[in-house]
Chains A and B, each alone.
Chain A
Amino acid sequence: ETGVTQTPRHLVMGMTNKKSLKCEQHLGHNAMYWYKQSAKKPLELMFVYNFKEQTENNSVPSRFSPECPNSSHLFLHLHTLQPEDSALYLCASSQTSGTGGWEQYFGPGTRLTVT
């Protein structure tokens, strides 16, 4: 048990749907992250929030919209996705996000399929 939970674990959505992924961490951390893993590619950072403020948007298309209402919760709102957005979406948290000196704790991921 890593202390980071994600829901749903699996999601199938059409290209015109709107859905949201949820992440919650119970570790008292101040930084939260969204990563994407496509087949045969490395984990790719999407967004970083530190103390609820977005500090990184890794050139992610606007059809992905993050929200961080507090340090424990992170959402990824999805709308008008493309089939190439099908991937595993992982949430992570760490003490803070600066200088990379803190290990990250990952959730189990949401397997997203866009039809």
Chain B
Amino acid sequence: ILNVEQSPQSLHVQEGDSTNFTCSFPSSNFYALHWYRWETAKSPEALFVMTLNGDEKKKGRISATLNTKEGYSYLYIKGSQPEDSATYLCAHYGGATNKLIFGTGTLLAVQP
């Protein structure tokens, strides 16, 4: 069984705080790592797809890094806002399974 693990499970921060989450995945036979944001009652929305070791991607206040050799990715949110409140999912695509395997997500709540 190839697991994707995310930590923490949940996080409560104050508006303006910066925060980060971790996604761990099998390092062998790596193809791609996805990050999605899933707001309550909405559809999951893609944030980043990363394929190269050392990749760094940024969208506004959100950025992500990738280390395929050690099997982890970090998602950073700078200056959290209440509208950032959502579940953040990562998903790993590897040659061993040839399909996207999701983690259970990190639930972020930003208090105004």
A interface with B by C-beta (< 8 Å):
2, 4, 40-45, 48, 56, 58, 90, 99-109
Label chain A's interface by main secondary structure.
Answer: loop
Interface 1/0 per residue, B58-96 and A, CB below 8 Å: 000000000000000000000000000000010101000
Q: B49–A2 contact, CB under 8 A?
A: no
Report the bound CA distance from A70 to B105 in whole Å. Answer: 32
Q: B46–A105 contact, CB under 8 A?
A: yes
Label chain B's interface by main secondary structure.
Answer: strand
Report the bound CA distance from A110 to B85 in whole Å. Answer: 22
B interface with A by C-beta (< 8 Å):
4, 31-32, 34, 36, 41-46, 49, 51, 89, 91, 93, 98-105
Q: B43–A99 contact, CB under 8 A?
A: no
Q: B102–A108 contact, CB under 8 A?
A: no
Q: B102–A43 contact, CB under 8 A?
A: yes
Known: A43-B102, A58-B99, A101-B49. A108 touches B42 (CB 8 A): yes
The chain A residue with its CB closest to the CB of B32 is A100
- Which chain B residues lie closer than 8 Å to A4 at the CB level? 43
Task: Jot down 28 A-B pairs with beta carbons below 8 A, ordered by A.
Answer: A2-B43, A40-B104, A42-B4, A42-B102, A42-B103, A42-B104, A43-B91, A45-B100, A56-B98, A56-B99, A58-B99, A99-B31, A100-B34, A100-B49, A101-B31, A101-B32, A101-B51, A101-B93, A102-B49, A103-B34, A103-B49, A104-B44, A104-B100, A105-B43, A106-B43, A106-B44, A108-B41, A109-B43
